[in-house]
Amino acid sequence: MNIRYTKEAIEIIIATMNRDSLDFLIPMFPFAHFADFSILIVNQTHENAILTSDFPAVKVINSFEIGLSKSRNLGLKNSQGEILILADDDEVFEPDFIETIINAYKLFPDAAVISFQIENENRKLFKKYPKKSQMFLKPLTLFSVMSIEITINKAILETSRIEFDAHFGLGVTFEMGEEAIFLMDLYRQQQQISFVPKVIAVHKTQTTTDKVDFLQRYYIQGAFLKRVGMNNWIFRVLQKVFYDVKQKKIRLKEIPKAIQFAFNGRKKYLELTQ
C-alpha cells in the first residue's frame, strides 16, 4: 500500500454532538490554527441545529443517528485521507503529532492500524504502555487500546471492510468495547496492528469506563466476550472477577450479582443479533 508520507495524507475524524460552532477545535490545536489540518467532523445533532464550516480543510457531516460507533463509521466512510486519526472532541494534540504519525508509517508501512501513547492532563502517560515499538500487537493488548490512540490506514481498511460494531460504544446498549472489537475483527483477518511508543495527544484522565458503574461494566463485558468469540466464556468472566477482587474493585459479596449481570449482557447481545 503506497502512502504519501506528508501532512496532506493525514485526516482527523472527530465525533461530537450538538455543536453549533467550530470553537471547540481551538483548544485541540494550541500550537496552530485548526484549519491548517484536514479535519472531518461528524456532529450528531437534530435538524434545527446544523453545524457548518467556512474552512475548506474542515468538513462537517451532520448526523441524526445516535451512537458513537455510527459516527465513527460515517466518518471513516466519508474520509479522504490516507492515514486516519480517530479523535475525541476534547483531546489536545502534541505539536509534532503529524511528524510522529508519518514516521510510524514509514516504520510500519503495511500496518492497518498503528496505536500511540496518550498523556493525561498532568502530562503523565495515560496507562502502562509497551516500552518499545511492536510490529504485531497481541489480542490481550488490543483489549486495552483506546480509540484516541489509534490511526488507520484507509486503503487497508477499505479492503478489509471492517467497521465499528454499532451495538457497542457511547449512546447505545453496550457503552464500551467498540475499539477492542474493531481491532479484534482486523486481527482475525491477519491485518497488522502495530504500536509506537510516542505521545500524540493529551486527554483528561476520566474515560467512559470511569463513568460506568461496576455492574454495568459486567453487563457490557458479558456481551463483549460473546461478540469477540472468546473461548471458555464463563472462564473469562470469572477471570475478570478474580482480577477485580484482587484489585479491590469489587467486594466478595458482589461477585454473584456481577456474574449475573455478565450473563444478562450476553443474553441481551444474543437477542439483538439473532
Over residues 207-237, the pLDDT tens digits come to: 555 567 888 999 999 999 999 987 789 999 9
Residue of 190, 200, 191, 262 whose CA lies nearest to 227: 262
Nearest to 170 by CA among 271, 273, 72, 41: 72
Cell of 88: 475525541
pLDDT digits (tens, 9 = 90+) for 176-202: 999 999 999 999 999 999 999 999 999
Dihedral, 268, 269, 270, 274 alpha carbons, nearest 10: 110
Cell numbers at 222, concatenated: 458479558
77, containing H or E segment: helix 68-78
**84 SS3 class:** strand
243, three cell numbers: 482480577
The answer to whether the CB of 60 falls within 8 A of the CB of 53 is yes
86 phi and psi angles, rounded to 5 deg: -90, 120
Q: What is the mean pLDDT of residues 124-141?
A: 94
Instruction: Name the nearest CA neighbour of 164 among 182, 184, 185.
Output: 182
pLDDT by residue (tens digit) across 29-45? 999 999 999 999 999 99
- pLDDT computed for residue 248 by the predictor: 87
Nearest-10 crossing angle of helices 214-227, 233-246: 150
Q: What is the model's pLDDT at position 132?
A: 96
CA angle centred on 180, ends 174 and 185, rounded to 5°: 105
Cell 486527554 belongs to which residue? 203
DSSP 205: S
- For residue 49, pLDDT beyond 90: no
Give the pairing of strands 58-63 and 111-119.
Answer: unpaired
- Band (156; pLDDT cuts 50, 70, 90): very high
Residue 13 is which amino acid?
I
Which of these, 7, 190, 188, 191, lies nearest to 111 by C-alpha position? 191
Distance CA 179, CA 208 (A): 12
Closest Cα partner for 169 from 47, 42, 83, 46? 42
Integer angstrom CA distances of residue 12 from 15, 49, 104, 140, 148 = 10, 23, 16, 27, 11
pLDDT band at 206 (very low <50, low <70, confident <90, very high): low
